[in-house]
Amino acid sequence: MCGIAGLLAINGATLPFQNIQSMTEAMRRRGPDDEGLAFFSGPESQAQLYGGQDTPAPVYQAPHRYSPPGEFSGFYPPDTFLALGHRRLAILDLSPAGHQPMCTEDGRYWIVYNGEIYNFREIRARLQTLGERFESNCDTEVILKAYRQWGADCLPEFNGMWALAIWDAGERVLFCARDRIGIKPFYYYQTENFFLFASDIKTLIASRIYHPEPDWEGVYHSMSFYCAPRPLTCFQGVKALEQAHWMTVAPDGRVSRQRFWAIPVGEIDYRKSEPQWVEELEQTLRRAVKRRLVADVPVGTFMSGGIDSTTMSAISAQEHPGIKAFTLAYEDEAREYDELPQAQATARLYPMQHIIKKVLPETALSHLAEMVRCYEEPFHSLAPNYIISQLVAENGVTVILNGLGPDEMFCGYGRELGLPQWRKYRSWHPLISLLPGRYGKLARLKEEAAAQDIMDYYVVNFTIFPERGKQRLFSLPQAQQWNSYARFKDLYHLQALAFPDDIEALGYMDLVNYIGNHHVYRVDQFTMHFSLEGRFPYLDHELVELAARIPSCFKSHNGVGKYILRQVAQKHIHPSCLTMKKKGFGLPVGQWMHSSLRLLVEEKISALKAREIFNPQALDQLNRRFYQGNADHNQLWLLVSIELWLEAFMSR
């Protein structure tokens, strides 16, 4: 796990390439163990290498072609056209051989890479039969040699998570790629003069070449999807490389892109019995967990009391006795989030170290500014990711396993339970549309009845703000032309997919949207803030592909979601975890908005009104309705979050 950055001049443009070090400094938390810079100049792509303030002395003394001779002084060749920067969080092969930017022995291929390839040893063995030799024991070199052998076709061979850039000095092209699910981030900003990329948007801003401005259409859609649906962001001009895509950029401005993998659609296998599916799911999950326990640093798990993380932690403890498992507990005012008794019951069954921390309002809110910086885009709530990541770091663990995924793959949210009702409402749409009501449940009913297909149904049931509610809020004239329903279908080409049933469609959309856009990006931001590597066993692509083949009747069965996973889980976790009502991983923001956060809410809504982006009357009305108990706190906090985001990030 690391941080990557790069700056490529287009058509000979003159750029301040020394600013690459400002970018690596901005990513220090992503990689405190090492820092590397490479400047490429001339028609032969001559590389000039440097370290930074955090580069260990042994790196300078190492014999590798990519070992820098000394620390960057601020000077680089005058004909430089490309700069690459890297911050290292050492996980595998902690020696100087893992330094980046790394190159092949002939100096043609150079890589900066963030992530982990869990099957790198198997790929390395194959490459050795093809004549490749290795200087290190890390996965970075395996990626580099695999690309030399197979080009972009190396990507389907990898099991893992990655964001990477490889400079091919022979073809003079920059190859960029992102993993199948989008676990590792890759942001870029491109003009006619340059291509700029980094692991987070804060680092793009740190370049002092990109000057942040809001993309109000991105903000508009983020009010439905928890963050702007990728590749869009809330920052003007900044894009996210789509999950499971690669792209190439050349110094003459030529760009190409291609998708190398997709979540299977329409491949459901109806031949297997329930016991067969249970066995296959358990074995696939166990393999995924075992892969993610491999590291040269301490590994732990996030463990709430829910099915997903307790099952993952139980298997982890079986494979790695003594593993540390981390749980948050809550005060009386937030019992709706507390799963401590269930987590403790499972922890007692295994040889694991169970570490618990109680969440206090003053603890969470004292870090509000840092949370806003970590979110990078407006968000409708506050999550405990900051607190639990801090807890993990304080206990000397560097790699942490996370239980994300089953809710999206196996019907954990209950979205499918409303399908019969929606079909009924849809037939009554002409009558329902005549009902009065612009807010609350009635407004949501009218929007659901207007949903023409399963994609519209998904957006209605996912969004924080209904479409008409957003349009009433915005003062910008162009907002009346934006439509999150249409944008969602267009971005993910949903109407071209032949879903065999609506439940498969809901799972697919949750994976590409909720997981691939929101969840993994938020977890990455908070774990990396504390120099942690987050790993996701349930998002192993083999498990995702397996879930896509399992019939829907084994995912939601007699009104019970995650049915097939429950059959696996009951062998490993305490029964109380299976009977507990779903609570979610959150903080009691709505309660705090009536107490410790109330003054902040008033201040930020007032400041937002002065910006003339939103309708002041609509803002006042929503504020009033919330404190009267007639509006969802998520809507009001999202608007507060927009103001906090503007104050934290925008140049004007």
Nearby residues of 250 by Cβ (< 8 Å), 6 or more positions away: 172, 173, 174
What is the per-residue pLDDT for 20? 97
In this prediction, residues 349-377 reach a mean pLDDT of: 88
What is the per-residue pLDDT for 651? 59
Instruction: Read off the pLDDT band of 108 (50, 70, 90).
Output: very high
Q: Which residue has the tokens 């702007």?
A: 228
In this prediction, residues 612-636 reach a mean pLDDT of: 92
What is the per-residue pLDDT for 312? 97
Comparing 99-103, 166-170, 413-417, 436-440, the range with the smallest average pLDDT is: 436-440
Q: What count of Cα atoms within 13 Å lies in the side-chain half-sphere of residue 384?
A: 26
Nearby residues of 480 by Cβ (< 8 Å), 6 or more positions away: 471, 474
What is the per-residue pLDDT for 428? 84
Residue 548 has pLDDT above 90, yes or no: yes
Instruction: Read off the pLDDT band of 383 (50, 70, 90).
Output: confident
Rounded to whole angstroms, how far apart are CA atoms 451 and 457? Answer: 5
pLDDT, tens digit, for every residue of 583-615? Answer: 666 788 888 899 889 999 999 999 999 999 999
Domain ranges (residues) in the chain: 2-259, 274-411+503-579, 588-652
What is the per-residue pLDDT for 431? 79
What is the CATH code of the structural domain delimited by 2-259? Answer: 3.60.20.10
In this prediction, residues 48-71 reach a mean pLDDT of: 96
Is residue 171 a contact partner of residue 110, using CB atoms and an 8 Å limit?
Answer: no
pLDDT, tens digit, for every residue of 240-287? Answer: 999 999 999 999 999 999 999 999 999 999 999 999 999 999 999 999
What is the per-residue pLDDT for 335? 63
Instruction: Read off the pLDDT band of 652 (50, 70, 90).
Output: very low
Comparing 23-37, 188-202, 263-277, 359-373, the range with the smallest average pLDDT is: 359-373
In this prediction, residues 462-478 reach a mean pLDDT of: 91
Rounded to whole angstroms, how far apart are CA atoms 305 and 345? Answer: 9
Q: What count of Cα atoms within 13 Å lies in the side-chain half-sphere of residue 573?
A: 30
Please state, in angstroms and as integers, the Cα–Cα distance from residue 249 to each residue in 3, 6, 316, 398, following that order.
20, 12, 41, 34
Instruction: Read off the pLDDT band of 420 (50, 70, 90).
Output: very high
Burial class of residue 615, CB neighbours in 10 A (0-12, 13-18, 19+): middle
Residue 331 has pLDDT above 80, yes or no: no
Secondary structure in 3-state letters for 402-417: CCCCHHHHCCCCCHHH
Rounded to whole angstroms, how far apart are CA atoms 518 and 646? Answer: 19
What is the CATH code of the structural domain delimited by 274-411+503-579? Answer: 3.40.50.620
Rounded to whole angstroms, how far apart are CA atoms 547 and 564? Answer: 10
Closest among 362, 395, 342, 353 to 569, alpha carbons compared: 342
What is the per-residue pLDDT for 174? 98
Give the number of other CB atoms < 10 A from CB of residue 54: 17
Global confidence as pTM: 0.95
Q: How many residues belong to the chain?
A: 652
H or E stretch at 560: strand 560-561
In this prediction, residues 24-44 reach a mean pLDDT of: 96
Q: What is the mean pLDDT of the chain?
A: 93
Residue 333 has pLDDT above 70, yes or no: no
Rounded to whole angstroms, how far apart are CA atoms 638 and 470? Answer: 12
3-state secondary structure of 25: helix
Residue 461 has pLDDT above 80, yes or no: yes
What is the per-residue pLDDT for 224? 93
